[in-house]
Structure 1
Amino acid sequence: LDCVQLNQYTLKDEIGKGSYGVVKLAYNENDNTYYAMKVLSKKKLIRQAGFPRRPPPRGTRPAPGGCIQPRGPIEQVYQEIAILKKLDHPNVVKLVEVLDDPNEDHLPVCPVCFSYLCRPFRPVMEVPTLKPLSEDQARFYFQDLIKGIEYLHYQKIIHRDIKPSNLLVGEDGHIKIADFGVSNEFKGSDALLSNTVGTPAFMAPESLSETRKIFSGKALDVWAMGVTLYCFVFGQCPFMDERIMCLHSKIKSQALEFPDQPDIAEDLKDLITRMLDKNPESRIVVPEIKLHPWVTRHGAEPLPSEDENCTLVEVTEEEVENSVKHIPSLATVILVKTMIRKRSFGNPFEGSRREERSLSAPGNLLTKKPTRECEPLSEPKEARQRRQPPGPRPAPRGGGGSALVKGGPRVESWVAPAPGSRARMPPLRPDEAMD
């Protein structure tokens, strides 16, 4: 049996890969519960965040537009951990525990282990699908999504990667929002952003501007909610193309169309149309969505008020410092070396395989046949293979971190890169998340 012991957790099969590491099924001997442990790399975090080998000096400076500028990628992880551990809402994944190896904190250039625990289950649906949700099912899940997004915005968090595969159905049958890998914190009433992250097929048109204009973070989430609702009822995205630049062009300029089948209510078409308004200034906002006739079934199912749905979370510096639980360095080394020896990582930290950085959407099935005027953005696989020398590739040195989640096999990366920074990244398929 391929397993490793780490504290009270027995690690078993690999069940996924994410932007910063791999995911292992983990059994907690203390509560007889299965979780998912994600093994992460601090070196990968720093590289993805666009930082040099040495982290920047301590001290947090507000960034233009109200976004919080992190002290560094690792410090930001601890900040996010502290926030996520305090988030407590029925429609947001609950973070339970974080583990870290303190002996490696001062070596940001070396991969080391740290882990977190949360409780996701199965994604609400895969896209594309020939079996979309009924309007009643879509309304039920969308009401949960509205409440979860309202709660996150109340906590001054922009998710930035809302899509069906990041909406997990819990044991109670309700939606839980997961994967905070590209999220932003903000100050004031809204996040004013200028960088492009997230999943291309769910990106808002204003975020694709070549002039890097400032845009509203809340409006981005509303657009992605609209694409998600469209997926709920039609089983596909409203704008699709397997060439990224063509997809961007369609999102920015192509008119929204509804398939003939299934036939949906005019109220639902109105809501989707207002959420997918290409002008963020006139796009419907969350308080208006809550009152929309389709959402409330014409008043028969009103959503709770903001006061009933939200309680403000405040995180102190002490809580940030105490947001992780230290584990023995030896246990970390044993865990990492055993996983590498058994080839359980699949070389997740190897630069030449960065095109596999996200499992947040199912393959390239989200796309249509490319148009002739658009050239591929990525090198063909055959060409890459011809350039690579024969023989086995060396295993990466160093360790990783880990994350545990209870329940189903899907696990997403939650760690956010530095807001406002732009990491170098390879071309992505429209269904892959950009970190």
Structure 2
Amino acid sequence: MLPKHVKQPKTLFSFEVVLLKTFSLSKSLKSAALEFEVLYKCKMTPVSSPSLSMAQCTGLQYEPVAEIGGGAYGTVYKARDIESGKFVALKNVRVQTDQNGLPVSTVREVALLKRLEQFDHPNVVRLMDVCASKRSDQETKVTLVFEHVDQDLKTYLERAPAPGLSPERVKDLMKQLLSGLSFLHSNRVMHRDLKPENILVTSQGQVKLADFGLARIYSCHMALTPVVVTLWYRPPEVLLQSSYATPVDIWSTGCIFAEMFRRKPLFCGESEMDQLGKIFEVLGLPPEEEWPTDVTVSRKNFPLLHARPITDFVPEINEEGAQLLLQMLTFDPLKRVSAVKALEHPYFQDEEPATQTESLNQGVKSAAGGICV
């Protein structure tokens, strides 16, 4: 039975039935009602066949135009909203279900992302809609509909004319990136997979974080298939398989900060151990007391290396920028600067705004995979 304050629909679509089954498992009726209300406001697509394709599932409102990306979590499509004519990005999540319906964790994660929309933060891509279809008794496809931006940061850097972005432009991009990250962290959302490919940049130079929160939705329920995910932006605690929290995003942001100046990644490892080695070659081997105790990899596996000046690797960065970068690339996550504290750093004081002309000069093209050179 639906919570009293949620209007009873005339007809329940199959996905809604799955949702209702899910809420029977929730510990808190109030929490479950809120989660259902958030998702029920999204347009649920009626299902006539468990084998509907993406186009059929979204055809009532969204017309797929082109495949624009893919990766560990599936394919991303550019589509047109038939009602408004605007372009959107469609991301599909295939979630395993059982007799109890969708896992409560999935409903809660999607509901949390949908709640963030009400804040309309300028540096976070909007989750505009959620639609779903039950593919079989064991699987439901959830389609997340995001606002579409044609250019990511990787493309933006590639298209920057020599010698690259100006220091003022880098500072502006970093301030926007940290602003979006601070907002997510304050709402208990951890990105976990920050990299230039999922940081979007509009033609006006506005930064928008994308794919936040999705790693947690996917990782719990995606099929156990081999995937290749870049290691270059992963922090030591993740590489060592230690416990982690929001500081993982700060490390990734530091790597991206350096890359904005270098126009190529800072650490380019080929495996977890190699990636750690690349990090220690720059930052030095951390002291024994900072090595996590909940890991199987021993500190003794690595040579005793001393830190080198970060300006050897990022020569264009100024002194205050170098200080902030090192605070982001701190081995101990408990000592790593937070997003909100980073925004208060002297590096961002007395900044000169980047010109709009410089932003518009960065061309727009589809993102492609990159390598270190």
TM-score (norm 1): 0.53
Aligned to 1:280: 333
Report 1:223-242 matches (<5 A). 223-242=251-270
Question: Which residue of the partner structure matches residue 238 of structure 2?
Answer: 207
1:289 maps to which residue?
342
**Whole-Å separation in 1 of the counterparts to 2:265 and 2:279:** 11
1:95 aligned residue: 127
Measure the CA separation in 2 of the matches of 1:198 and 1:152: 22
Of residues 335, 359, 363 in structure 1, which corresponds to 2:369? 363
Change beyond 3 A, Cα 1:244–1:6: same
Per-residue CA deviation, residues 175-194 of structure 1 (Å, 9 max, x unaligned), is 1111122259xxxxxxxxxx
Answering whether residue 278 of structure 2 is matched by residue 250 of structure 1, we say yes
- The code of the aligned residue for 1:26 comes to A
Deviation at 1:90, TM superposition (A): 0.5
Greater relative contact order, per chain length (Cα 8 Å cut-off, separation 6+)? 1
What fraction of aligned residue pairs are identical, expressed as a percent? 25
**Residue of 132, 148, 156 corresponding to 2:188:** 156
Q: For residue 202 of structure 1, give the secondary structure of its aligned residue in structure 2.
A: coil
Q: Alpha-carbon deviation of 1:230?
A: 0.5
| Structure with higher helix content | 2
Q: 1:28 deviation in Å?
A: 2.5
SS at match of 2:177: helix
Q: What is the distance in 1 between the residues matched to 2:70 and 2:180? A: 25
| CA–CA distance in structure 2, aligned partners of residues 270 and 262 of structure 1 | 13
| Pair 1:218-2:246 in alignment | yes
2:22 corresponds to? none
Q: Give the AA of the match of 2:336.
A: R
Q: Is the 8 A contact 1:162 1:225 kept in 2?
A: yes
8 Å Cα contact 1:202/1:227 also seen in 2? yes
Q: Is the 8 A contact 2:151 2:367 kept in 1?
A: no
The equivalent position to 2:207 in structure 1, one of 157, 175, 180, is 175
Matches of residues 25-424 of structure 1 in structure 2 within 5 Å? 25-38=78-91, 40-42=92-94, 45-46=95-96, 54=98, 71-73=104-106, 75-76=107-108, 78-101=110-133, 104=134, 107=136, 109-110=138-139, 112=141, 114-126=143-155, 129=158, 132-180=164-212, 181-182=214-215, 199-209=230-240, 212=242, 214-215=243-244, 217-251=245-279, 254-255=282-283, 257-259=310-312, 262-297=315-350, 362-363=368-369, 365-366=371-372
SS at the partner of 1:125? Answer: helix
Letter of the 1:179 counterpart: D
How far did residue 231 of structure 1 move?
0.7
Select between 279-288 and 146-155 the one with higher mean Cα deviation.
279-288
- Amino acid across the alignment from 2:151: R
> Which position in structure 1 is the counterpart of 2:74?
21
Counterparts of 1:261 and 1:116, CA distance in 2: 38
| d(CA) in 2 for partners of 1:141, 1:261 | 17
Inter-CA distance 108–79: structure 2 relative to 1 (3 Å threshold)? farther
> Aligned equivalents of 2:233 and 2:99: distance in 1?
32
Instruction: Report if the CA contact (8 A) 2:152-2:367 is conserved.
Output: no
Structure 2: state its 5+ residue gaps.
Answer: 1-54, 218-227, 284-307, 354-365
Cα deviation digits, residues 76-117 of structure 1 (max 9, x gap)? 45434433443520110011112222xx27x45346463423
Does the 8 A contact of 2:78 with 2:148 survive in 1? no
C-alpha RMSD over aligned residues: 3.5
Alpha carbons of structure 1 residues 251 and 76: separation in structure 2 relative to 1, 3 Å: farther
Match of 1:373 in 2: none
Deviations 1:340-361 (A, max 9, x none): xxxxxxxxxxxxxxxxxxxx98
Change (3 A) 1:132 1:179: farther
The secondary structure found in structure 2 opposite 1:182 is helix
Distance change (3 Å), C-alpha of 1:294 and 1:149:
same
TM-score by length of 2: 0.61
Contact 2:232 2:265 in 1 (8 A): yes
In the aligned structure 1, how far is the partner of 2:333 from the partner of 2:142? 41
How many pairs were matched up?
267
Residue in structure 2 matched with residue 391 of structure 1 by the alignment:
none
Distance 1:135 1:56, change over 3 A: farther
